[in-house]
Amino acid sequence: MKNLILKQAMMNKVLYSLIPIALFSVFLFGWRVLAIITITNFVAFITEWLFIRQKKNGKVSMAVFVTGSLLALSLPPTIPFWIAAIGAIFAVTFGKMVFGGFGMNIFNPAILGRTFVYISFPQAMTVSWLNPFTKFPGGFAFYQKASQLTSATPMIDFSHSQEMTPLNNLAIGTIAGSMGETSAILIILAGIYLILTKTAKWQVMLSVLVSFALFSFIFYGTNPLPLLLSGGLLFGSVFMITDPVSMPKDSTAIWIYGILVGFLTVIIRKYSLFVEGFMFAILLGNSLMPIIEYAIVKQKKMKKEKQ
């Protein structure tokens, strides 16, 4: 197996940062979480291997396990296994391999896979959620409790009634939601680790969050902090938008990119039928990234050099 995998130290650090989040998700929702993570990683690995198996010295990139893990943690704990597997196939095939493999993709593969699942299987993604365990040993003693089903998450509650979930619940993560998107504290700690190890750029994280907070206050006229900690925004800001392949390389373009994604997230959440707008905002940002980096930034620099 080791001979089939291309070692990538940066990707290992991302996986390390996800371990506490995954373990906490098991505590909240049960061991089925680990089963879903295993399935998406295995299917993602096999999918990439099928594409590169006949290439000379072809190896599966370590990044594929980041894609599989991020995809799994962005899904509900009740997601059927076969849907999670299809999401992994789509993420690797259409988010990565059709562009030529690792380092060539313009979209973040994990968020592309999640968006595909969200659009193709809306009932599995939006209807059934699990109330979390709150006392030890919690989910460590269970596979899953179907009797704990609920239909509400903080974002759904806010979109329907404008009611805010208490900040302490959002911070700790004792809320219904996607498996890895509940605990703001663990996600923030993971972000700090990625920044300190120079695995992710803080500029893009900050630009997204500040932009989202500003435009949330403008469009909602309320405290943006609960909205910052709800849904997939924080998780995506730390793990998805920081993808070094699909984000801009120019420092100015990074800020423009982050501000744009934050703004689009608010607009989609406010005016569309989709409760969670961050995944669409990232894909739109990925689509516009070449224009942002080349037409807006580099062209201006070239003009200044000619003057």
CATH of the domain at 289: 1.10.3430
Which of the 8 DSSP states describes residue 98?
Answer: G
- pLDDT greater than 90 at residue 277: no
The predicted structure's pLDDT at residue 28: 93
The pTM assigned to this predicted structure is 0.92
202-229 b/e with 16+ CB inside 10 Å = b?
ebbbebbbbbbbebbeeeeeeebebbbb
d(CA 78, CA 179): 9
- pLDDT greater than 90 at residue 150: no
DSSP characters over 101-139? STTT-SS-HHHHHHHHHHHH-HHHHHT-EEPPP-STTGG
Q: What is the mean pLDDT of residues 113-119?
A: 94
Q: What is the mean pLDDT of residues 41-58?
A: 87
d(CA 197, CA 284): 28
| Residue tagged 């291309």 (tokens) | 6
pLDDT confidence of 167, banded at 50, 70, 90? confident
Q: What is the mean pLDDT of residues 143-166?
A: 65
- pLDDT greater than 60 at residue 1: no
Per the prediction, the chain carries an average pLDDT of 87
CA dihedral 63, 68, 70, 76 (to 10 degrees): 180
Number of domain units in the chain: 1
Q: What is the pLDDT of residues 173-191, one digit of tens each?
A: 888 889 999 999 999 999 9
- pLDDT greater than 90 at residue 35: yes
Give the range with max mean pLDDT: 51-60, 90-99, 100-109, 130-139: 90-99
Query: Greater confidence, 207 or 103?
Result: 207
* SS3 (DSSP) at 60: strand
| Dihedrals phi, psi of 190, to nearest 5 degrees | -65, -40
Q: What is the pLDDT of residues 208-264, one digit of tens each?
A: 999 999 999 999 888 888 888 887 899 999 999 998 888 888 888 899 999 999 999
Domain that holds residue 136: 2-306
Answer whether the bond into residue 76 is a cis peptide, omega within 30°.
Answer: no
pLDDT confidence of 307, banded at 50, 70, 90? low
The predicted structure's pLDDT at residue 259: 95
Query: Greater confidence, 37 or 127?
Result: 37
* SS3 (DSSP) at 61: strand
pLDDT confidence of 168, banded at 50, 70, 90? confident
* SS3 (DSSP) at 223: coil
d(CA 193, CA 159): 32
Measured CA distances, 168 to 157, 226, 304, 306 (Å): 16, 10, 50, 55
